[in-house]
Amino acid sequence: MSSSVAHSSDATGAASAEPAGSWLDLGSRYIAGGVVSLNRKVEPTVNFVSASGSRLRDHLGREYIDYHAAFAPHLLGHNEPAINQAVQDAIAQRWSLMGSGTTPWEVRLAELLCESVPSLERVQITNTGSEATAHAIRLSRAWTDRDDIILILGGYNGWHNEVARAVMPTLDQVGPRVSPGEYRFLPLSAGIPESTTRRVHLVNFNDLESVEYVMRRHPTACVLTEPVLQNIGVVLPEPGYLEGLRGLCDRFGVVLVFDEVKTGFRTALGGYQGVAGIKPDLSVFGKAVANGFPMGVIGGRADLMARFHDPDPAKRVLIAGTYNAHPVSSAAAIATLERLRANDSAVYGHIETRAARLEAGLNAIYEEFDVPAVVARNASAFCTYFMDHAPVDWHDILNHHDFELDRRLRVALIERGVYAFPLACKQNSVSAAHSEDDIDQTLHATRDALDHLLKDWSRDAL
Ligand SMILES: Cc1ncc(COP(=O)(O)O)c(C=O)c1O
């Protein structure tokens, strides 16, 4: 270990560390760019060293009520004892990566997944959501014998070539709203071949006319969409939208893929699809399914999924991965799902009560300060938009949201011990570990932060 980082233990035994400089600076000596996932580089940078339940702790021992949840996996809270115990038990029982045949825990996990989400007739298990969306696209292409795909502007579906487009492009980058019509794929990465992006068609959320427009012009393999856009906050489907998508996919022979990496198991045991009453052909899950341990899931109709083991090599779709269904992640996922299933209404009921209290409290504060704002919420996920209506798509947000107030408020909250990711429009997550006291402290911090921000602004205006 580098001598520039002094390690110690706090009273709870949790590791804490005092960096001689900023972690980002230290990390940059060895880690290209200092962070291992580009979106973790934000200002202000907080040096987190431990986490428990709803709380994060930094290297100076300061606590933060966490609404970031590491981009959403921690549905039951950080270091949930029952999940950690399940992982420890699995190791004690010598569960290991066997790499041959299947294991009882893989079978149990698959059974739990299929029993929890009605559209999952068969599943496959990966390590990440990105792997699962890549498989969903390839499977759809193999099934339909078509190459083009439809994605949603403002959606995020992973880092691989087909889906790595700008999630929050500026109006200059994306251009004004077109309907019906499609938007340019703005690569989020260098190195993506034009031959790939040509096959990808981007339309706005809640815009069925544009979906039909693309389907009429291009032989489309799949529509891959989050059922609620939760990478630009929380943008809910309008009544009839998901039904309309289902209808268009049926009409044009297109595979409907719901990316429930964020909504899955967070909204309800059966995913957002269960709440909406829509059955996609394929679904993809991740994040909350293993409460913070790495896992991705692809599943759906048995006839489509059968392509993963088609006896005809020309039709077979490859599924492979040394670490697929790793025992540590599998143990965590089994424990998470058993907890959610055994105690379904208690966990979801608890989260709903806390999230609703927060939503009502935030709305009251914005009203008190006469700040136009809407708290958009899908179960545990919420986002405040500083505009006079709940947004329907990314253009709506670009045209109406006060990004500067959003960003400044997040920074002011961090200063007051509430960790809202400091990037405008990022979704916040309530977990089962959040207490009523956490919610009330959050509301207190929000009132104080807003009060200071508005006073600063009115002073500046003088
Ligand atoms: C909706 C959605 N799909 C897919 C992914 C990719 O998942 P992973 O980061 O596990 O590869 C994410 C990650 O944020 C996501 O939000």
Q: Residue 27: what pLDDT? A: 82
Whether the pTM exceeds 0.85: the reply is yes
Nearest of 250, 337, 266 to residue 301 by alpha carbon: 250
Which residue among 64, 66, 183, 287 is the active-site one?
287
* pLDDT one-digit tens code per residue, 44-78: 989 999 999 999 999 899 999 999 999 999 999 99
Q: How confident is the model at residue 26 (pLDDT cuts 50, 70, 90)?
A: confident
Is the confidence at residue 12, as pLDDT, over 70?
no
Backbone angles phi, psi at 240, to 5 degrees: 95, -15
Contact in structure between 151 and 140 (CB atoms under 8 Å): no
* pLDDT one-digit tens code per residue, 263-296: 999 999 999 999 999 999 999 999 999 999 999 9
Region 238-256 average pLDDT: 98
Give the ligand 1 atom nearest the CA of 158.
6
Region 29-37 average pLDDT: 91
Q: Residue 25: what pLDDT? A: 78
Contact in structure between 201 and 150 (CB atoms under 8 Å): yes
Ligand 1 center to 129 CA (angstroms): 5
Q: Residue 1: what pLDDT? A: 35
What is the residue-wise DSSP string for 24-57? HHHHHTTSTTSSSSGGG--SS---EEEEEBTEEE
Strand order in the sheet with 63-66: 48-52, 55-58, 63-66, 418-419
* pLDDT one-digit tens code per residue, 409-459: 999 999 999 999 999 999 999 999 999 999 999 999 999 999 999 998 776
Nearest-CA residue for ligand 1 atom 16 is 262
Q: Residue 9: what pLDDT? A: 41
Q: Residue 461: what pLDDT? A: 61
Region 114-129 average pLDDT: 98
Q: Residue 259: what pLDDT? A: 99
Nearest-CA residue for ligand 1 atom 8 is 129
Region 166-172 average pLDDT: 97
Q: Residue 23: what pLDDT? A: 74
Strand order in the sheet with 374-378: 374-378, 381-385, 428-429
Is the confidence at residue 111, as pLDDT, over 80?
yes
Q: Residue 17: what pLDDT? A: 52
* pLDDT one-digit tens code per residue, 348-373: 999 999 999 999 999 999 999 999 99
Pocket test for ligand 1, best of 156, 235, 323 (most atoms within 8 A of CB): 156
Nearest-CA residue for ligand 1 atom 4 is 157
Ligand 1 center to 128 CA (angstroms): 7
Is the confidence at residue 18, as pLDDT, over 90?
no
Ligand 1 center to 157 CA (angstroms): 5
Q: How confident is the model at residue 11 (pLDDT cuts 50, 70, 90)?
A: very low
Looking at the chain, the number of H-run helices and the number of E-run strands are: 15, 16
Give the ligand 1 atom nearest the CA of 226.
1
As for ligand 1, residues whose beta carbon falls within 6 Å of it are 71, 128-130, 133, 156-158, 226, 231, 259, 261-262, 286, 296
Region 104-125 average pLDDT: 98
Is the confidence at residue 97, as pLDDT, over 50?
yes
Active site residue 259: yes
Give the ligand 1 atom nearest the CA of 294.
10
Active site residue 287: yes
Which residue among 66, 259, 393, 406 is the active-site one?
259
Q: Looking at beta carbons, which pairs linking 175-183 to residues 24 or more positions away fall under 8 Å?
A: 176/395, 177/204, 177/395, 178/210, 179/204, 179/207, 179/209, 179/210, 180/207, 180/209, 180/210, 180/212, 180/213, 181/210, 181/213, 182/210, 182/213, 182/214, 183/153
Give the ligand 1 atom nearest the CA of 127.
10
Q: Residue 458: what pLDDT? A: 73
Q: Residue 20: what pLDDT? A: 53
Region 163-174 average pLDDT: 97
Ordered by where they begin, the domains of the chain are 81-342 (3.40.640.10)
Q: Residue 344: what pLDDT? A: 66
Nearest of 256, 178, 185 to residue 215 by alpha carbon: 256
Chain-wide mean pLDDT for the chain? 94
Mean pLDDT is lowest, of 4-8, 84-88, 309-313, for 4-8
Q: How confident is the model at residue 2 (pLDDT cuts 50, 70, 90)?
A: very low
Percent share of the chain, pLDDT over 70: 94
